Each structure stands twice: as C-alpha cells, then as structure tokens.
Amino acid sequence: MLYIDCPYCGSRGHEEFTYIGDATKKRPDSAEKSDSAWFDYVYLRDNPRGPHLELWHHSLGCREVVKVLRNTLTHEILGAGRPGDEIAMPDAETER
C-alpha cells in the first residue's frame, strides 16, 4: 500500500485519496484569448517517466487538495505538501 503524508492529517493510505491531475500545469491568464493556450491547458498532458508533481484530493479525510511528488516508475511517494508548497525534486543522480 502507498502512504501519502497529508499535511493536514498525517500519513494515510492512498485509497483515501483521489487523483486530480498534473500539478505542473499553469492556468493561462484570464485575458488569454489564444485557443491553443487553452487547448494546451485543458487537454494536453505529458506522460512523464520518474518523479512527477501531482494533485490529489483527500476525499475520505480532510477533503483538502494535496500536492504529491510521486515516481511514476515505482509509484514511490517522494514528498507531499499543500498545493502552494515547493516540493524538492530529487537529483537525477540519486534516481538511478
């Protein structure tokens, strides 16, 4: 079982959480009129290999959104925090 360290509740099993999506996508400015910028934001996603920042919802707990750093190869949870928190990416050398 994977455990996610919710910043509000502490360590909880991943079955209490719901995956929301990629935490690296930035919403375009509301004045942005370019269709391609909105298309990219809404539909296009990378399929990263290795550490990736994701948003998860603690749906069976505090119901807060949590930012999670997860390795997409091993599913290892490398860090978690509030959505505005900076979570340090591991060095490329330590990943191997």
Give the single-character DSSP code of 62.
T
| Minimum CB distance to Zn ion smaller for 50 or for 61 | 61
Is there binding between residue 6 and Zn ion (CB under 5 A)?
Answer: yes
Query: Computed from CA positions of residues 73, 54, 94, 11, in that sequence, does the dihedral angle turn out positive or negative?
Result: negative
Is there binding between residue 62 and Zn ion (CB under 5 A)?
Answer: yes
Strand partners, 22: 54
Is there binding between residue 4 and Zn ion (CB under 5 A)?
Answer: no
Is there binding between residue 81 and Zn ion (CB under 5 A)?
Answer: no
Q: What are the backbone angles phi and psi of residue 90, rounded to the nearest 5°?
A: -70, 150
- Residue ranges that bind Zn ion, judged by CB under 5 A: 6, 8-9, 58, 61-62
